[in-house]
Structure 1
């Protein structure tokens, strides 16, 4: 499973997570206009089979209106350190894998 971290997350986190997930990208490093629009991020993730990871509820709204894929992991943790977010995502790696494989749901909320 491949992750795409939204702009509201640190690009440094993508480096840390790349050892735990197949691939991990940050929106600032994929060639989209900066700042990237949510719909452009959505389309990029769809084309490239990426799971969007964000703490921005706008992606939940897109998931509700457009369906899936792409799939979305919404972090509801408030502002946290990269180390905390890395630990949290690795801790939920199995859940994220189940999200990736699911044909029934396209959204995972982590609190």
Structure 2
């Protein structure tokens, strides 16, 4: 499973996630900054990414349009990059299991 981090998550997280989520990236690194939510959603689905965001917009889209892409919704207030990284890695198996069971959106909370 590879992750595509939305603009609201630091691109500096990407190198730290590579071992747990090989092939992951961030929208700015792919030249998709300022892209619409639908464009990001389409790109993530076409390239087999799980879209990672702090915005409820992608959660809403996953409810109305389903998957792909799957959405990992980070429900963390003012997250520290190390906390986001730790939760992503520590809960990797649970995240994978939820998506394998058919979830279109998984919420990641502290």
TM-score by length of 2: 0.92
1:76-110: CA deviation from partner (whole Å, max 9, x where unpaired): 111111111000100110022123423x3211001
Counterpart for residue 17 of structure 2: 17
Which aligned runs of 4 or more in structure 1 are off by greater than 3 angstroms? Answer: none
Is residue 8 of structure 2 the alignment partner of residue 8 of structure 1? yes
Give the distance between the partners of 2:45 and 2:74, measured in 1 at CA: 20
> What is the aligned-residue RMSD (CA, Å)?
1.2
Distance 2:30 2:36 in 1: 13
User: What number of residue pairs does the alignment pair up?
Assistant: 109
Q: Provide the secondary structure at the position in 2 that maps to 1:44.
A: helix
Flag structure 2 segments of 5+ consecutive residues without an equivalent. Answer: none
Alignment TM-score, normalising by the size of structure 1: 0.91
Q: Is the 8 A contact 1:71 1:99 kept in 2?
A: no
Q: Residue 39 of structure 1 aligns with which residue?
A: 38
Please list every run of 5 or more consecutive structure 1 residues that lacks an aligned counterpart in the other structure: none
